[in-house]
């Protein structure tokens, strides 16, 4: 059965999650305040523009696991890893069965200014789909409004960047289809970074089989999911203009820079349900989980080759990006250091890795602090790697180059375990 965003909202309600509707919300700052102050609530319908928006739909793991139809961290990691290795192409159908052309332009799409420091109004859930030489890619790119026909998008050196630069070499513009308002599993797949040549939309279909069909856009024949709310078809042009500043995942403004321009040609809306647009508030839990959780999969996959892993967490305080806590069932001395090195390989943007035993609850930061305080000695349990490639999100680094640390806060196996256990509350 095909599943769109409304189907997932109905599922949330059926499982007891609080889903509310609001009205008359402004495009400046309102949604940021609402999302921040109503963490336990999914805002399903915020009417303040032609197309309603929703937020907090995927801001905790319970909702994420519900979308994936799994119960545990490890089940989620295994399912995502399997789907990356075994993408599934959906059945193809006719575009006109699902979408109709709209006379709307970008000024009718709900671009939002989330923080006073933002340089303009943004789409934060824009998924760009593009194909070149038989290879297709879908990925998130924040998009800043310019005028009804143009917007700038931030492209970092990944797969769309590769396609765009190849199009520049050929003196061509890159055709794209921007999809908005999709099922959370499609959003999660678009946040992955599979090998070049693996289409994230097919990963989504493997994660949730038969939940959508593939249709090709009229102008450029780009395959997109039939359950998208809105499709913006156009090109990433050779022209550039200013983008930013933009408050990013650490709630620190990213700098203003010249970026490529998306030029709109056609707008299409889904005629089988009421279209909506996802407002992912930068720096809040939904942003952190969508961006960080897929990296937990790669950390788990790499670390599992050297240790028995119980769980992985990218910490919210690090934007779900720079610090990882890894729980292991320790078997031999030195294993903690191997885990640290493997984690840096699995997610090179990491700055800090903390390894704890499986009796530590890695969702309780006081327990992590307790493990470091009682099971760690810097002279033998600290790993420092200087001047390594990291993340440009770290403002203390030098253009993405900085120091990394690893903390092995596991119990030594040659000492009685009772020395490192807290007594139970009677």
112 secondary structure, DSSP code:
B
CB 274, CB 7: distance < 8 Å: no
* Residue 97, φ and ψ in degrees, nearest 5: -70, -25
CB 173, CB 238: distance < 8 Å: yes
Structural domain contains residue 17: no
Structural domain contains residue 15: no
Q: What percent of the chain has pLDDT over 70?
A: 99
pLDDT at 44: 66
DSSP string, 249-308: TTS-EEPPEEEEEEEEEEEEEESSS---EE---TTSHHHHHHHHHHHHHHHHHHHTTTS-
207/63 same-domain check = yes
Structural domain contains residue 18: no
Structural domain contains residue 94: yes
pLDDT at 182: 97
- DSSP-derived pairing of the beta strands 352-357 and 323-328: parallel
pLDDT tens digits for 177-203?
999 999 999 999 999 989 999 999 999
178/140 same-domain check = yes
Q: How many CB atoms lie within 10 A of CB 364?
A: 10
Structural domain contains residue 38: no
User: Residue 1 pLDDT > 80, yes or no?
Assistant: no
235/367 same-domain check = no
273/315 same-domain check = no
313/385 same-domain check = yes
Domain boundary among 246, 281, 316: 281
Report the C-alpha gap between 383 and 386 in whole angstroms: 10
User: Residue 23 pLDDT > 90, yes or no?
Assistant: no
127/193 same-domain check = yes
Which residues 6+ apart lie within 8 Å of 272 measured at CB? 4, 98
140/272 same-domain check = yes
pLDDT at 20: 87
316/276 same-domain check = no
Count of domains for the chain: 2
Structural domain contains residue 287: no
Structural domain contains residue 49: no
pLDDT at 424: 83
Structural domain contains residue 20: no
223/142 same-domain check = yes
- Residue from 106, 95, 52 nearest 227 by CA: 95
Enter the pTM of the model.
Answer: 0.93
pLDDT at 21: 86
- The pLDDT-based confidence of 45 (bands split at 50, 70, 90) is low
Range of the domain at 227: 59-281
DSSP string, 39-77: TTEEEEEEESSSS-EEESSS-SHHHHHHHHT-SSHHHHH
What is the domain-level CATH number for residue 267? Answer: 2.30.110.10
Q: Which residues pair with 42 in a beta bridge?
A: 19
What is the domain-level CATH number for residue 377? Answer: 3.40.1670.10
Residues known to be catalytic: 248
pLDDT at 26: 84
């Amino acid at each position: 059965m095909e599943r769109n965003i409304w189907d997932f909202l109905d599922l949330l309600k059926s499982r007891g999650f609080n889903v509310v509707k609001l009205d008359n919300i402004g495009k400046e700052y309102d949604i940021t305040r609402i999302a921040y102050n109503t963490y336990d609530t999914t805002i399903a319908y915020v009417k303040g523009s032609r197309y309603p928006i929703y937020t907090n739909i995927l801001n905790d793991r319970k909702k994420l696991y519900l979308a994936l139809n799994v119960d545990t961290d490890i089940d989620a990691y295994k399912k995502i890893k399997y789907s990356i290795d075994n993408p599934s192409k959906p059945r193809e159908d006719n575009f006109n069965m699902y979408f109709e052309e709209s006379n709307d332009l970008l000024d009718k799409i709900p671009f939002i200014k989330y923080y006073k420091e933002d340089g303009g109004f943004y789409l934060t859930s824009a998924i760009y789909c593009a194909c070149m030489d038989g290879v297709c890619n879908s990925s998130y790119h924040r998009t800043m409004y310019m005028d009804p026909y143009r917007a700038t998008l931030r492209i970092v050196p990944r797969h769309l960047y590769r396609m765009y630069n190849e199009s520049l070499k050929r003196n061509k513009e890159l055709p794209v289809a921007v999809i908005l308002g999709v099922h959370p599993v499609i959003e999660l797949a678009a946040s992955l970074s599979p090998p070049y040549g693996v289409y994230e939309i097919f990963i989504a279909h493997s994660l949730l089989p038969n939940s959508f069909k593939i249709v090709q856009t009229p102008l450029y024949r780009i395959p997109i999911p039939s359950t998208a709310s809105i499709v913006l078809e156009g090109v990433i042009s050779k022209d550039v203009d200013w983008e930013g500043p933009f408050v990013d995942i650490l709630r620190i403004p990213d700098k203003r820079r010249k970026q490529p321009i998306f030029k709109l040609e056609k707008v299409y809306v889904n005629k089988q349900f009421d279209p909506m647009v996802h407002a992912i508030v930068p720096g809040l839990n939904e942003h952190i989980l969508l961006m960080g959780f897929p990296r937990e999969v790669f950390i788990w996959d790499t670390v599992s080759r050297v240790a028995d892993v119980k769980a992985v967490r990218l910490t919210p305080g690090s934007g779900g990006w720079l610090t990882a806590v890894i729980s292991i069932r320790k078997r031999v001395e030195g294993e903690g250091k191997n885990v640290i090195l493997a984690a840096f390989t699995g997610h090179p943007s990491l700055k800090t890795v903390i390894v704890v035993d499986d009796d530590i609850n890695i969702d309780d930061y006081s327990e992590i602090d307790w493990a470091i305080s009682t099971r760690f000695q810097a002279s033998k349990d600290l790993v420092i790697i200087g001047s390594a490639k990291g993340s440009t999100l770290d403002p203390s680094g030098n253009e993405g180059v900085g120091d990394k640390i690893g903390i092995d806060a596991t119990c030594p196996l040659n000492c009685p375990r009772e020395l490192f256990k807290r007594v139970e509350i009677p």
